[in-house]
């Protein structure tokens, strides 16, 4: 099935690119941008984004790297994201202002 008509990207192309990325680095986080870059086909109109993401999620290899699986639950429990500490942003702003 063709997912992106502008760049002629099929669901097989997307799944093959994700498999290739995971074979090279099992910890990699597959994003549409990385998949497009791996395929050498950048986005054009962007109209396929929803279908592109759905194809990525429903593929045979939708596994998330272990270290980021619990980020959503941790964020909902504490109200802050573990991935980006807010205090580091505040200190950067303060040091830049002085």
| Interface positions with ligand FES (CB under 6 A) | 4-7, 43-48
Query: Smallest distance, Å, CB 5 to ligand FES?
Result: 5
Q: Which is nearer to ligand FES, 5 or 12 (CB)?
A: 5
Nearest-approach distance from CB 19 to ligand FES, in angstroms = 21
Question: In this complex, which beta carbon is closest to ligand FES, that of residue 49 or of residue 61?
Answer: 49
Q: Which residues pair with residue 2 across a beta bridge? A: 10
- If you ran DSSP here, which 8-state letter would residue 3 be given? E
- Per DSSP, the residues of 10-58 read EHHHHHHHHHHHHHH-TT----HHHHHHHHT---SS-TTHHHHHHHHHT
Q: Which C-beta is closer to ligand FES: that of 16 or that of 39? A: 39
Cα–Cα distance for residue pair 53/31, rounded to 1 Å: 8
Q: How far is the CB of 66 from ligand FES (least distance, A)?
A: 31
């Amino acid at each position: 099935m063709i997912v992106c008509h502008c760049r002629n990207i099929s669901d097989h192309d997307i799944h093959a690119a994700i498999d290739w990325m995971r074979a090279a680095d099992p910890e990699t986080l597959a994003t549409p941008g990385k998949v497009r870059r791996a395929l050498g086909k950048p986005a054009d109109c962007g109209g396929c984004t929803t279908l592109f993401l759905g194809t990525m999620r429903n593929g045979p290899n939708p596994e998330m790297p272990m270290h980021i699986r619990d980020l959503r639950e941790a964020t909902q429990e504490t109200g802050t994201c573990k991935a980006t500490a807010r205090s580091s942003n505040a200190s950067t702003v303060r040091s830049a202002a002085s």
